[in-house]
Structure 1
Amino acid sequence: MKIGIIGGGAAGFFAAIHASAPGTEVTIFEKSPKLLSKVKVSGGGRCNVTHRPMEISKLVKNYPRGEKFLKRVFPKFKSEDTIRWFESRGVALKIEADGRMFPVSDSSQSIIDVLLKEAKKLNITIRKSCGVESITPADSQYKLDTDDGTFLVDKLIIATGGHPKLDSYSFLKNLKHSILDPIPSLFTFNTPKESLRELMGLSVVDGIVKIEGTKMTYRGPVLVTHWGVSGPAVLKLSAFGAQWLKDKNYVATALINWNGAYGEEEFNAHIKNYLLAHPNRKVESHSLFEIPARLWEHFCARSGVENAQLYGTLSKKQINKLVQNLFCYTLKVEGKTTFKEEFVTAGGIALNEVNPETLESNYHPNLYFAGEVLNIDGITGGFNFQAAWSTGFLAGTASLN
C-alpha cells in the first residue's frame, strides 16, 4: 500500500511516521528544499514543542478556531503523549514557568533530528523540492501531479500547513472541499503614530490588553517594540480577535493595564498612600507598580508631572491622569506585523467536512488532513505544535485501517 504525505513539516512528519507499518510505502512530498523549517525557527530557535499537560476541557480553550473539533481529537493523542513520544526517543523536555515546554537542549535541532532519524529508520521516502500542483481522485487511488512527475498513491494525507493567500490552496481544486479564506493569527499591533514606540525593548510581565468596543481581552507579558506592542498578551489577543481585526482593516484602539494585579481604585489608593508616606520624593525618580523606569517617566510626562515634581505636590488631576495611563493606556492600532517564518493562519479546510475521529475527508475515502491546513489555530505557547502532533498522529494511524 502506498501512502502519500503532502508537506514536510511537523504534522506531515508525524503523520508519515505513524502511517509506517509493514507492507506500506510512505512518501513525503515537500515543495521547498528544506524540511521542518517552521520547527527550526519556532520559539526563537528553541521549538516550543507543547504546553504543560492540562485537562482536555481546558486545553481546547486555547484554540480560537477548532475547539469543538479538537475535543474529539485530543483524547487519542494529548500533551502527555507528545512528551512521552519525544522523551522515549532521547529528547528530554522541560516546563517553563508559563507552561511552555522546550527541549532541555534549548535547540529546535533536537526535535528535527529525532523526526528525521525516525523517518530514516522507517524507510520513509522524502522528496524535497517536489511541490504538488494538483490532486485527482483516480478510481481507488489519488494521482499527484508534481514538479517531479506524476505519482499514484492509495491513501493521501494533506499536511501542507497554513497559507497566507487563498490561491496557495489551488492544488486542492479537484477536490470537493470548502476552503475558508486564510487570515493572519498571532500578530503584533502596529502603532505608527504613538510615541510609546520610542521605548522599544521595554516590557512588563503582567499586563492586560483589551480591544475597545469588544469583550476581547488577554492578560500576560506585554512588550514595546519599534513598531508598536507585542508579547504574549498581544499575540494571544490577536488570535481571538483575528476575524474582527481583519474586518476593521486592523484599525482599532487597544487599552492597556500595565500591571494586572491592580484595578483602577487600587492604583489610585496606592499612589495616594505613597505620597502621604513619601511626600518629598521625586515622582519621576520613584517608579511604582513594578513599572520600568523609562515607561514610568513616559507616564509622568503624559500626566503633566513636572521633571523634578515631588509626590507631595501632585494635584488630584495629575493623580487621575497617572492612574488613567497605568490602568487604561490608550493606543491607536493601525496595522499589524506578522513573522513570516512563524506565521499562523486561521482558515483552510472547513472542519465540518472532516471526520474528527479519523481526520478522513467526508467526501473522499482514504483522504486525510493534518495540521494547520485545517481551520485550526492555537494561541502562542506550544498549542499549534500540539495540534500538529495530535492530528498528524490520528491521520497517520487512521490511514493504516
Structure 2
Amino acid sequence: MMNYDLIIVGGGAAGFFTAINVAENDPKLKIAILERGKEVLSKVRVSGGGRCNVTHAEFIPNELSKNYPRGEKELKGPFHTFMTGDTMEWFDRRGVALKIEDDGRIFPVSDSSETIINCFLSEAKRYGVEILKNHAVKNFYQEDKQWLVETSQGDFRTTMLMIATGSNPKIWKIVQDLGHQTVDAVPSLFTFNSKDSRIVNLPGVVTNASVQVKNSKLSSEGPLLITHWGMSGPAILKLSAWGAIELNACQYHFEIIVNWLQYYSQQEAFEELKALKNKYPKQQISKYTQFELPKRLWQSLILASEIRNDTRWADVSKMQLRTLSEQLTQGVFVIKGKSTFKEEFVTAGGIDLKEVNFKTFESKKYHNLYFAGEVLNIDAITGGFNFQNAWTGAFIAAKAITSG
C-alpha cells in the first residue's frame, strides 16, 4: 500500500491548484493526485470556448461574492485572503500572461487553455507531484488518524485528504456515508428552449434586454442571444444560475417576460412610437429599425403586432402602436426545456456549506479532510467566477495543510 502525506481526489482546477500550492509551501510532502479519467484538467481545456476564462476583473471581495447564487456569504472572508488580483499574480509569477477583456473576463494572452494546462503540468512535475490517471476512487475512510483510499488500481494511505471532484455522485455518496450532508445537484448555467414564432428565424441576433421569470422575483439583464433552440447569452445564463433550484422545481416549463428595450417602460415605448408616427408619416415602419434594435428583431416584433411589412407610420393605428409597445417591453415567451451551455456544465448542489470551515476549507466533522471547488454547494454565474472559487478554496486549503 502506497503512503502519502496528501492525496487529492480529482485532477481538475481545484485539485491541481491545491497540489502545486502545497508543494510550493512544503516541498518535502509526498503528494498524489488521483484522477478517475484518462485525462486531467478536461474542464479547464473546454472552458471559455477553449481559451480558459481564468477569472473575472472584479477586485472588491464583497462585490465578487455577489456573483455566487450559492456561496455568496461563505466566500466573502476567503476572497479577502485570495481573489482576482492574487490569481493574476500567481499566474504571472509562473510566466503566464493574462489579459482583461471588455466584459471583464480574464484569459491567457495566448487565447489557449493549453497555456494554463501546461503551466499546471510543468509545476506539478517540477515539485514531484504524482499524477495517477485511471484511478477511480471506490471509498475512503479514516483509520488510526490516517485516511485509507480504495481505488480501481489499488489502495493508498494518506495523512491528509483533499476532495476536489466536482459534482461526482459516487464521491458525494461516500461523503454522505461519512456523515456529511449534501444538497442535491441541479443544473446551473443553461440556456432556455423556446419555439416561439417571433424568434424562430432569428438565430445569431443579439441585443441588450431585461428578462423576468413570470410570477417570480427572478430577473436579469444584459446581452441576450437568440439561438436555433431558443435564448442564451449572459442575461439568460445569469437567470439560469440564480434560478437553478426554482426552475428545476418546475421542470423547466415556465414563462419569461422580455423587455427588448431593457430600461423603457411600456408607456415610454408607446409615447416614443407615437412621436415616430408624427415624425416619419410616409416612411415604412419596417424599413428603418428603431431603439437601436437589430433589424430582423424589429421586423419580427412588427409582424407579431399584426402590422404588415409595407405599412407606413401614417397608416398605423393607435391600437397597433399599443400592441407594438407591449411586444417591445413585455413580450411573454413560453420556455419548454433547457440546453447545457457548451461543455461548461455547472451544477448547483454539493456538500452543505455549514459543515465546512471557510478559514481552512476543512471538514468540521473530520480532521485532515478538505474540500475545494464544485464539490461544495457553491456555484456562480458565467464569466470566470467558478474557477475563482476553485483557486481561492484550493489556495486557502493549501495554506492550512502546510501550516499545521
- Report the TM range for the smaller structure's normalisation: over 0.9
| Paired position in structure 2 for 1:15 | 18
Tell me the matched-pair count: 398
1:7: Cα distance to partner?
Answer: 0.6
Please show how residues 23-172 of structure 1 align to structure 2 within 5 Å: 23-163=28-168, 166-167=169-170, 169-172=172-175
What is the CA–CA distance in structure 2 between the aligned matches of 1:109 and 1:273, rounded to whole Å? Answer: 55
Q: 1:245 to 1:344 in 2, by over 3 A?
A: same
**Aligned residues of 1:371 and 1:387 also touching (Cα < 8 A):** yes
Residue number among 294, 297, 317 corresponding to 1:295 in the alignment: 297
**Aligned residues of 1:134 and 1:172 also touching (Cα < 8 A):** no
1:173: Cα distance to partner?
Answer: 4.4
Q: Show structure 2 runs of 5+ residues with no match.
A: none
What is the CA–CA distance in structure 1 between the aligned matches of 2:165 and 2:302, rounded to whole Å? Answer: 50
Give the secondary-structure state (helix, strand or coil) at the position aligned to 2:374: helix
What whole-Å deviation, never above 9, does each CA across 1:103-144 have from its counterpart, x for those lacking one? Answer: 111111111111111111111000011111111111111111
100-109 vs 146-155, greater mean Cα deviation: 100-109
Letter of the aligned partner of 2:15 in structure 1? G
343-352 vs 166-175, greater mean Cα deviation: 166-175
| Paired position in structure 2 for 1:273 | 275
Give the secondary-structure state (helix, strand or coil) at the position aligned to 2:201: helix
Moved over 4 A (4+): none
What is the CA–CA distance in structure 2 between the aligned matches of 1:291 and 1:378, rounded to whole Å? Answer: 30
What is the CA–CA distance in structure 2 between the aligned matches of 1:158 and 1:61, rounded to whole Å? Answer: 25
Give the secondary-structure state (helix, strand or coil) at the position aligned to 1:378: coil
Give the secondary-structure state (helix, strand or coil) at the position aligned to 1:341: coil
What is the CA–CA distance in structure 2 between the aligned matches of 1:76 and 1:330, rounded to whole Å? Answer: 44
1:193: Cα distance to partner?
Answer: 5.2
**Aligned residues of 1:134 and 1:174 also touching (Cα < 8 A):** no
Q: 1:195 to 1:201 in 2, by over 3 A?
A: same
Q: TM-score, normalised by structure 1?
A: 0.96
**Aligned residues of 2:198 and 2:304 also touching (Cα < 8 A):** no
What is the CA–CA distance in structure 2 between the aligned matches of 1:13 and 1:312, rounded to whole Å? Answer: 66
**Aligned residues of 2:7 and 2:158 also touching (Cα < 8 A):** yes
Letter of the aligned partner of 2:350 in structure 1? G
Letter of the aligned partner of 2:11 in structure 1? G
1:25: Cα distance to partner?
Answer: 0.6
Letter of the aligned partner of 1:10 in structure 2? A
62-71 vs 18-27, greater mean Cα deviation: 18-27
Please show how residues 2-401 of structure 1 align to structure 2 within 5 Å: 2-20=5-23, 21-163=26-168, 166-167=169-170, 169-192=172-195, 194-204=197-207, 206-339=208-341, 341-400=343-402, 401=404
What is the CA–CA distance in structure 2 between the aligned matches of 1:263 and 1:138, rounded to whole Å? Answer: 64
Root mean square deviation of aligned Cα: 1.4
What is the CA–CA distance in structure 2 between the aligned matches of 1:184 and 1:311, rounded to whole Å? Answer: 46
**Aligned residues of 2:189 and 2:237 also touching (Cα < 8 A):** yes
What is the CA–CA distance in structure 2 between the aligned matches of 1:88 and 1:383, rounded to whole Å? Answer: 21
Give the secondary-structure state (helix, strand or coil) at the position aligned to 1:118: helix
134-143 vs 262-271, greater mean Cα deviation: 262-271
Letter of the aligned partner of 2:181 in structure 1? S
**Aligned residues of 2:43 and 2:344 also touching (Cα < 8 A):** yes
220-229 vs 187-196, greater mean Cα deviation: 187-196
Give the secondary-structure state (helix, strand or coil) at the position aligned to 1:262: coil
Letter of the aligned partner of 1:199 in structure 2? L
What is the CA–CA distance in structure 1 between the aligned matches of 2:367 and 2:246, rounded to whole Å? Answer: 36
**Aligned residues of 1:199 and 1:225 also touching (Cα < 8 A):** yes
What whole-Å deviation, never above 9, does each CA across 1:71-97 have from its counterpart, x for those lacking one? Answer: 121111111100111112111111112
1:150: Cα distance to partner?
Answer: 0.3
Letter of the aligned partner of 2:133 in structure 1? K
What whole-Å deviation, never above 9, does each CA across 1:191-223 have from its counterpart, x for those lacking one? Answer: 14555222111111x211110111111111101
State the identity %: 46
